[in-house]
């Protein structure tokens, strides 16, 4: 993109008008909030999740997909077509005991969704972004990947730390092609996943959990012209729980 085009876009730095954005984990708290924010900024959103649309008639394109399945993600990319950005919020954090004899299966499942899923999305969508001369990836990491977590299991913390490293690796590959790769690192957020892990937001510095739209807005920002000179960043959105 030339300097004149950049300056023109920065006249409306948060505008996503005309941009097609795929959002995974879109039925969940942060993913759904990101979809709402992006649509509010004019984006054409495409939603994907492992869960079915639950009998609801979607107002936007909705795809049921398991991001841990590479063939399914490749098929998703073929069906969705070119996109400006991928916001990946698909993730799991099972409240299980890592000392149990049968915990290995849970570990594999968390790695497959949280980390392999991100790699699958990058492999499926980054080549077309490079060919198009630009694009964005915004991943959902975690404060657990920074500090080992507060109440999560080691599989979740390990995958989020791995995701942060993957973001930086992908940024090195994509930035020279104007494909910028970043992530947010949430702390406690008021979502069903947090509720399943009995997370009490009052123990954190702001004495509350984050709101899903606070994360959704940051993810939307990473896809906007305002973030056009940011790549390889892990943005801490955790209410002061951790200072990166």
Return the sign of the alpha-carbon dihedral for residues 243, 41, 232, 121. positive
- In angstroms, the CA 244 to CA 108 distance is 28
pLDDT at residue number 1? 65
The number of folded domains in the chain is 1
Two structure tokens written together for 69: 């399945």
- In angstroms, the CA 227 to CA 184 distance is 13
Report DSSP letters for 110-138, one per residue: HHIIIIIHHHHHHHHHHHHHHHHT-EEEE
Instruction: Give Cβ neighbours of residue 101 (< 8 Å, ≥ 6 apart).
Output: none
Report DSSP letters for 26-88, one per residue: TTSHHHHHHHHHHHHTT-EEEEEESS--TT---SS-EEE--TT-HHHHHHHHHHH---SEEEE
Q: Which domain holds residue 117?
A: 3-237
pLDDT at residue number 28? 80
In a domain, 243, yes or no: no
- In angstroms, the CA 94 to CA 164 distance is 20
Burial code (b: 16+ CB inside 10 Å, e: under 16) for 62-88 equals bbebbbbbbebbeebbeebeebbbbbb
Domain CATH number, residue 16: 3.40.50.720
In a domain, 214, yes or no: yes
Q: Identify the residue whose tokens are 């149990």.
A: 100
Among all residues, which ones are annotated catalytic?
Answer: 156
pLDDT at residue number 58? 66
Two structure tokens written together for 179: 């494909």
pLDDT at residue number 54? 72
Q: What is the pTM of this model?
A: 0.92
In a domain, 181, yes or no: yes
Tell me the chain's radius of gyration from C-alpha atoms.
Answer: 17
In a domain, 242, yes or no: no
In a domain, 244, yes or no: no
In a domain, 88, yes or no: yes
- In angstroms, the CA 46 to CA 62 distance is 6
- In angstroms, the CA 25 to CA 186 distance is 15
Q: What is the pLDDT of residues 95-119, one digit of tens each?
A: 888 899 889 999 999 999 999 999 9
* Among candidate residues 173, 140, 172, 174, the one with its CA nearest the CA of residue 159: 140
- In angstroms, the CA 212 to CA 38 distance is 13
| Local confidence pLDDT in tens for the 244 residues of the chain | 678 888 899 899 999 999 999 999 998 889 999 999 999 999 999 999 999 877 555 668 999 999 999 999 999 999 999 999 999 999 998 888 889 988 999 999 999 999 999 999 999 999 999 999 999 999 999 988 888 877 788 999 999 999 999 999 999 999 999 999 999 998 776 666 655 556 666 667 766 767 889 999 999 999 999 999 999 999 998 877 777 6
In a domain, 63, yes or no: yes
pLDDT at residue number 4? 86
**212-222 and 29-40 helices cross at what angle (nearest 10)?**
50
**Phi then psi dihedrals of residue 208, to 5 deg:** -160, 165
In a domain, 136, yes or no: yes
Give the CA angle between residues 25, 195, 241 to the nearest 5°: 90
């Amino acid at each position: 993109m030339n300097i004149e085009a950049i300056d023109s876009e920065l006249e409306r730095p948060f505008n996503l008008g005309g941009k097609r954005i795929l959002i995974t984990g879109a039925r969940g708290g942060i993913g759904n909030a990101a979809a709402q924010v992006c649509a509010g900024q004019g984006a054409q959103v495409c939603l994907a999740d492992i869960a079915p649309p639950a009998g609801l008639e979607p107002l936007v394109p909705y795809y049921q997909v398991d991001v841990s399945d590479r063939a399914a993600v490749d098929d998703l990319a073929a069906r969705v077509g070119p996109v400006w950005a991928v916001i990946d919020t698909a993730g799991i954090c099972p409240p299980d005991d890592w000392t149990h004899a049968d915990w290995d299966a849970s570990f594999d499942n968390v790695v497959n969704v949280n980390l392999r899923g991100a790699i699958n999305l990058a492999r499926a969508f980054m080549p077309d972004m490079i060919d198009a001369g630009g694009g964005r990836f915004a991943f959902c990491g975690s404060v657990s990947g920074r500090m080992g977590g507060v109440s999560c299991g080691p599989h979740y913390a390990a995958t989020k730390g791995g995701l942060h490293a993957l973001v930086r690796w992908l940024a090195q590959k994509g930035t020279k092609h104007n494909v910028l790769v970043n992530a947010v690192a949430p702390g406690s957020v008021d979502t069903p996943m947090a509720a399943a892990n009995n997370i009490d937001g009052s123990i954190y510095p702001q004495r509350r959990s984050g709101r899903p739209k606070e994360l959704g807005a940051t993810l939307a920002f990473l896809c906007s012209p305002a973030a056009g000179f940011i790549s390889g960043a892990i943005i801490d959105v955790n209410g002061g729980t951790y200072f990166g």
